[in-house]
């Protein structure tokens, strides 16, 4: 008998029909002989609706109260899932983050899990009861209600799977797994049967929205096999697992794309030690998430520095750069929002030189100019014009033959 953690996202519990379908899935797993711990998100767009309500009421929104507000959402969905299970004869009980023993730090709206005390969940399992746990929430060391931030329910599921030593963590969502590229852009994109944790982290970091980066990282660190699957079609999904060193890895598994970044370039920077440090320290102090950084080769002691940031952090980044430019003796600051970052990802890249060259050739063949480049051992990313992004993705998907099984 195996233990599965099954996590159902907001679209999977959006209405009464979907909740009954979720209960049915849980029942099947139980009938197959496995134990189940369920994790649910708030129904559909509940979280957005609550945040809108908060905006209507007040411009001052303390994090502690936002957390109190938002955690109402999972209470509703988990109680309803328990009732739907009761309706088909399965004993279930709901547990808040606090009751499930999910202890976090005190960072409201973006708390980190410190510890899991799964005593009540283990008791429930021992009694044959299916625990249904509120995703996204915990209780702080100060006994206040906290939330885990973006992708928090996935993190709850993976952390519980690790704490309970579960055999797998199944993430049910509105897409049927991880694809070789976005099917809306590349019609012949294929569902991947499995990807390694490392590949999945790169996919999540470069535009693949199926899983939050943080939960994949947690799963990798705690060796929790993930399974991503659609709760609408229930067709076979994608496994996210440890890389098998004995198996040959695909050279390139997926092509991803991010269009939500912007590029900032500081022109005419004197090329002396400490200049880059002071720039990126300033940005770090503003909590800007800098992605790619490129510094041109210096010509006569003067260089340009470009970096990309999320568009919603552009204003603060630009202000910081413009504040710093005169201090470091730079000429001017340029901003470009019309960019896209296209990436190829593959675990086999590590052992196959020439992949980068093949990528550049494919883009060149389609007359797509590359503006910035960054690489990791299993990823190559290029910044291109945003209007050429879809074409770049399709060209790369074809060049690496990702439509073939």
Residues of this chain that interact with its own copies (CB under 8 A) are 16, 19-20, 50, 53-54, 56-62, 64-66, 68-69, 71-73, 75-76, 78-80, 82-84, 86-87, 93-94, 96, 99, 120, 143-145
Nearest to 102 by CA among 62, 77, 133, 69: 133
Q: Which of 352, 147, 388 is nearest to 248 (CA)?
A: 352
Q: How far is the CB of 35 from its own copies (least distance, A)?
A: 20
Minimum gap (Å) between residue 74 Cβ and its own copies:
9
Residue pair 69/37 in contact (Cβ under 8 Å)? The answer is no
Minimum CB separation from its own copies for residue 38, in Å? 13
HSE-up of 346 (CA within 13 Å, CB side)?
27
What is the closest distance, in whole angstroms, from the C-beta atom of residue 112 to its own copies in the complex?
Answer: 21
Residue 242 CB, shortest distance to its own copies, in Å, is 37
Residues with Cβ within 8 Å of 367's Cβ and at least 6 positions away in sequence, in order, are: none
Give whichever of 50 and 294 is closer to its own copies, judged by the CB atom: 50
Q: Which is nearer to its own copies, 69 or 161 (CB)?
A: 69
In the complex with its own copies, which residue's Cβ is closer, 95 or 172? 95
20 vs 318 by CB, closer to its own copies: 20
Closest C-alpha among 205, 209, 196, 225 to residue 347: 196
* Cα distances (Å, whole numbers) of residue 14 to 45, 53, 84, 93: 8, 19, 14, 20
**DSSP character at residue 298:** P
| Closest distance to its own copies from the beta carbon of 302 (Å) | 50
For residue 227, the tally of other CB atoms under 10 A from its CB is 19
**Residue 75 or 168: which CB sits closer to its own copies?**
75
Q: How far is the CB of 131 from its own copies (least distance, A)?
A: 12
Provide the minimum distance between the beta carbon of 129 and its own copies in the complex, in angstroms, as a whole number. Answer: 11
Give the C-alpha distances (Å, rounded to integers) separating 373 from 86, 263, 272, 356, 384. Answer: 55, 13, 23, 10, 9
Q: Which is nearer to its own copies, 94 or 206 (CB)?
A: 94
Rounded-to-integer distance, Cα 2 and Cα 170, Å? 13
Adjacent-strand bridge partners of 36: 4
- Total H helices, total E strands in the chain: 12, 20
Using DSSP's 3-state secondary structure scheme, residue 249 falls into coil
**CA 65, CA 107: separation in Å to the nearest integer?**
12
Closest to its own copies by CB, 123 vs 260, is 123
Minimal distance, residue 30 CB to its own copies, in Å = 16
3-state secondary structure of 397: helix
Q: Which is nearer to its own copies, 92 or 349 (CB)?
A: 92
Euclidean distance between CA atoms 143 and 217, whole angstroms: 27
Distance CA 320, CA 314 (A): 10
Query: Considering beta carbons, is residue 60 or 246 the nearer one to its own copies?
Result: 60
Token pair in block for residue 50: 């609550």
């Amino acid at each position: 008998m195996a233990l599965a953690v099954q996590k159902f996202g907001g679209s999977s519990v959006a209405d009464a029909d979907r909740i009954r379908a979720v209960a049915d899935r849980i029942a099947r797993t139980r009938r197959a002989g496995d134990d189940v711990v369920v994790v649910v998100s708030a129904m559909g767009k509940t979280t957005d609706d609550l945040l809108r309500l908060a905006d209507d009421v007040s411009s001052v929104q303390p994090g502690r109260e936002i957390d109190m507000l938002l955690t109402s959402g999972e209470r509703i969905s988990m109680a309803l899932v328990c009732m739907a299970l009761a309706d088909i004869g399965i004993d279930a009980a709901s547990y808040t983050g606090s009751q499930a023993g999910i202890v976090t730090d005190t960072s409201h709206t973006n708390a980190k899990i410190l510890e899991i005390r799964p005593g009540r969940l283990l008791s429930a399992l021992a009694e044959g009861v299916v625990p249904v746990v509120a995703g996204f929430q915990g209780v702080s060391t100060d006994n206040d209600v906290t939330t885990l931030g973006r992708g928090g329910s996935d993190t709850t599921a993976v952390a519980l799977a690790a704490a309970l030593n579960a055999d797998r963590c199944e993430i049910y969502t509105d897409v049927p797994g991880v694809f070789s590229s976005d099917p809306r852009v590349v019609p012949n994109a294929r569902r991947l049967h499995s990807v390694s944790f490392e590949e999945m982290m790169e996919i999540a970091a470069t535009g693949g929205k199926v899983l939050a980066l943080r939960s994949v990282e947690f799963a990798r660190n705690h060796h929790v096999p993930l399974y991503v699957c659609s709760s609408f079609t229930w067709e076979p999904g994608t496994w996210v697992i440890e890389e098998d060193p004995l198996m040959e890895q695909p050279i390139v598994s997926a092509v991803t794309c991010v269009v939500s970044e912007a590029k900032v370039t500081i022109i005419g920077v004197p090329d002396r030690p400490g200049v880059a440090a002071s720039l990126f320290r300033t940005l770090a102090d503003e909590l800007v998430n800098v992605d790619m950084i490129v510094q041109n080769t210096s010509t006569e002691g003067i260089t340009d520095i470009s970096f990309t940031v999320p568009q919603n952090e552009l204003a603060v980044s630009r202000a910081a750069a413009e504040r710093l430019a005169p201090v470091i003796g730079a000429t001017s600051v340029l901003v470009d929002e019309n960019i896209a970052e296209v990436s190829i990802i593959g675990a086999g890249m590590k052992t196959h030189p020439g992949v980068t060259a093949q990528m550049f050739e494919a883009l060149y063949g389609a007359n797509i100019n590359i503006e910035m480049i960054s690489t990791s051992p299993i990823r190559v990313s290029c910044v291109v014009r945003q209007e050429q992004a879809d074409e770049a993705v399709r060209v790369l998907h074809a060049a690496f033959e990702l439509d073939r099984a």
